[in-house]
Amino acid sequence: MVPKISTLSGYLHEQQKSIANPTGFWANIAETFFWRKKWKDVLDWDFNIPKVEWFKNGKLNITENIFERHIFIQGEQKALIWEPNDPDEPNIEYTYNELFSKVKRFANVLRRHSIKKGDRVAIYLPMVPELAIAMLSCARIGAIHSVIFAGFSANALQERINDAKAKILITADQGLRGKKVINLKETADEALRSCPTINSNIVVRRTGGTINWNNEKDVWWHGEMDKVTDESKAETMDSEDPLFILYTSGSTGKPKGVVHTTGGYMVYTAYTFKNVFQYSNGDIYFCAADIGWITGHSYIIYGPLLEGATTIMFEGTPTFPNPSRYWDIINKYQVNQFYTSPTAIRSLIALGEEWIENTEMKSLKVLGTVGEPINEEAWHWYHDHVGKNRCPIVDTWWQTETGGIMISPIAGIIPTKPAFATLPLPGIQPVIMDEAGNKLCGNSVEGSLCIQFPWPGIARTHWNDHQRFKESYFSQFPGYYFTGDGAKRDEDGYYRILGRMDDVINVAGHRLGTAEIENAINEHPLVSESAVVGFQHKIKGQGIYAYVVCNDLPKKDDGEELRNSITKGVSKMISPIAKPDKIQFTHSLPRTRSGKIMRRILKKIAEGKGDYGDISTLTNPEIVEEIIEGNKKIQ
Ligand code: 7RM
């Protein structure tokens, strides 16, 4: 088990140690895991290439560290509790022994389908236990999983399958979220029409609803599980062998396949989980994220299970059958640590206090948030109404690319401040840069947030596109990892994350590239071009505002129809989460002399702010007036 910090002076001591001797610091933590063969060098790195290798030549299997390592001491401890969408349906609870047995079985299923070490497995599942089992089974045999969020469209699924050249797909007949039934198999079928590398499609029966069946490719999960035993040796992996790919949005149109490797990711997720949440043996931990995103990978599956925790996986939504759903789950299982997003909190605030008033939630010890900045109002509500003034809030800042939490309070140990992610975890060295690339020293500074030394959880590359990996994070500030976020360090040395500085918007904690949305809008036959910006949104943090230029601008009365069909198109191309909240038609977009769209102005207008700065560099300054006028009609 990784060491646990238990006092503020302990934190300061570890932090100091980790800066003075980072490799010694991480080697000590890595030694608490089971390695089949120890590493030669702790770290080999050069951010200019970029190259980062942790514990290289160390041999291990992450599932041996989850299962075999714990089994003798706590095989009968609960590993995974699955809470269904509908509270009247029975839940599922697996001990470590039981989950292990399922994982070994499904590992054998994958092997029977000729999946070998290094092959990619696409997983398009709702929040069902089979999702956890499938991921761990891949890890067991060294296959690289690529989980695709079940809210993505056929087009987005297809793009991700083909980019990774996945050999097999795992999906379900349908998914359930609140009152909605999601036809996953139907969407998967549509995607598979043009996925030449997929040989089989393993289908989990979740609802038993009617689906189409393709005898050549489709097989049932349960049918396959019956054909195999639960004896399955773990594949020996190098510390630097890829564990998974997870696609995320960047500032260009194409989503990037962020690659995480085995040893470093294991050490980092386990260490940060245990310390940030102050997890103790026997605690019940509930992260309400979806496993389709990095938070679910690191803090529903890998971090907790590596530490022998009991982790809850929830299929449903915070408001079904009513807005007490989370609080009911917390009471039902006596949850000790609860981790969710500011958007979920804000949406529950908006539904009124009566849903939380008489909830006891006495078991709660720690509350966490992730995914976007939390505003003070939401922070206080979370603290007062959910935590009943007893629980520290950990506002955890991190990214898909960082693998795990980077800047965050350690629960109950680092004093919190509303809306501040506070201090870096041990091993993390944040720096703030000005526009010219100078490191801003001392406190009370604001600029671009960079990290100046590798940590074990950092992503290693983009699948098949190392060049883009370099450009995305290592070119703006040579020698540093650039996060894409702005941040300030206040007078106490505390960090406050200010949000993205690039063309990425964060809608309800989901990262979306503006270029990606623009591409989808531009697919519409009547659209000639578009520009998408984020604007402040009361619940979602940011909303999507699209400026659309049409070949034939709609006449007053058919604008609505065109809006709807554009919105539908975006849903179909990407996902309903990427639908614009507002669409404004315009004759053209403000451009600089070099032809670049001046987003700064569009963003100001979308947010209803004046002061557009210098517009004299535009080739078409007159359009700004038209756009301002048009905006007034949209509000
Ligand atoms: C874990 C996750 C990453 C982006 C990141 C930020 C924003 C995440 C916080 C936050 C303010 C936070 N991965 N972000 N956490 N902003 N405070 N505590 O969300 O790759 O999907 O998104 O999310 O902008 O760069 S992610």
Show the 3-state SS of 385-419. HHCCCCCCEEEEECCHHHCCCCECCCCCCCCCCCC
In a 13 Å sphere around the CA of 235, the CA atoms on its Cβ side amount to: 25
For 460-482, how does the pLDDT look when each residue is reduced to its tens digit (9 = 90+)? 999 999 999 999 999 999 999 99
* Among protein residues, the one whose CA lies closest to atom 18 of ligand 1: 397
Does 373 sit in the ligand 1 pocket, CB within 6 Å?
yes
Task: Give the number of the atom of ligand 1 that is nearest the alpha carbon of residue 484.
Answer: 25
State whether the beta carbon of 397 lies less than 6 angstroms from ligand 1.
yes
**Domain positions in the chain:** 96-235, 504-633
- The pLDDT assigned to 556 comes to 64
Quote the tokens at residue 47: 């951010």
Q: Tell me how far the alpha carbon of residue 178 is from its chain's centroid.
A: 21
How many other C-beta atoms can be found within 10 angstroms of the C-beta atom of residue 334? 12
Distance between Cα 354 and ligand 1 center (Å): 30
Q: What is the rounded distance in angstroms from the CA atom of residue 271 to the CA atom of residue 4? A: 8
Q: Look at ligand 1, atom 23, and give the residue with the nearest C-alpha.
A: 371
Q: What is the pLDDT of residues 128-140, one digit of tens each?
A: 999 999 999 999 9
Q: What pLDDT, in 10s, does the model give residues 528-544?
A: 899 999 999 999 999 99
- Return the residue matching tokens 């960082």: 402
Pick the atom of ligand 1 nearest to 293's CA: 21
Would you say the CB of residue 400 lies under 6 angstroms from ligand 1?
Answer: yes
| 43, 374, 475, 489 from 478: Cα distances, Å | 20, 30, 5, 21
Ligand 1: residue whose CA is nearest its atom 13:
399
DSSP state of 551: S
Using an 8 Å Cβ cutoff, are 317 and 341 in contact? no
**Among protein residues, the one whose CA lies closest to atom 19 of ligand 1:** 371
CATH number for the segment(s) 96-235: 3.40.50.980
Q: Beta strand 527-537 with 541-550: parallel, antiparallel or unpaired? A: antiparallel
Pick the CATH number of 504-633 from 3.90.1150.10, 3.50.50.60, 3.30.300.30, 2.130.10.10: 3.30.300.30
Closest atom of ligand 1 relative to the 248 alpha carbon: 20
Closest by Cα among 484, 537, 482, 464 to 250: 484
pLDDT at 557 over 60: no
Q: Work out the pLDDT band at 235, boundaries 50, 70, 90.
A: very high
Among 443, 526, 423, 451, smallest CA distance to 490 is for: 443
Rounded average pLDDT over 290-299: 97
Do the first three CATH levels of 96-235 and 504-633 match, i.e. the same topology? no
pLDDT tens by residue, 374-384: 999 999 999 99
DSSP labels, 75-113: TTSEEEEEE-SSTTS--EEEEHHHHHHHHHHHHHHHHHT
Please give the order of strands across the beta sheet that includes 284-287.
92-95, 78-83, 310-314, 284-287, 337-340, 366-370, 393-396
Q: How many alpha carbons fall within 13 Å on the CB side of residue 194?
A: 8
Ligand 1 close to Cβ of residue 396 (< 6 A): yes
Q: Is the peptide bond before 321 cis (omega within 30 degrees of 0)?
A: yes
Q: What is the pTM of this model?
A: 0.94
Start-to-end C-alpha separation, the chain? 54
Q: How confident is the model at residue 12 (pLDDT cuts 50, 70, 90)?
A: very high
pLDDT of residue 597: 85
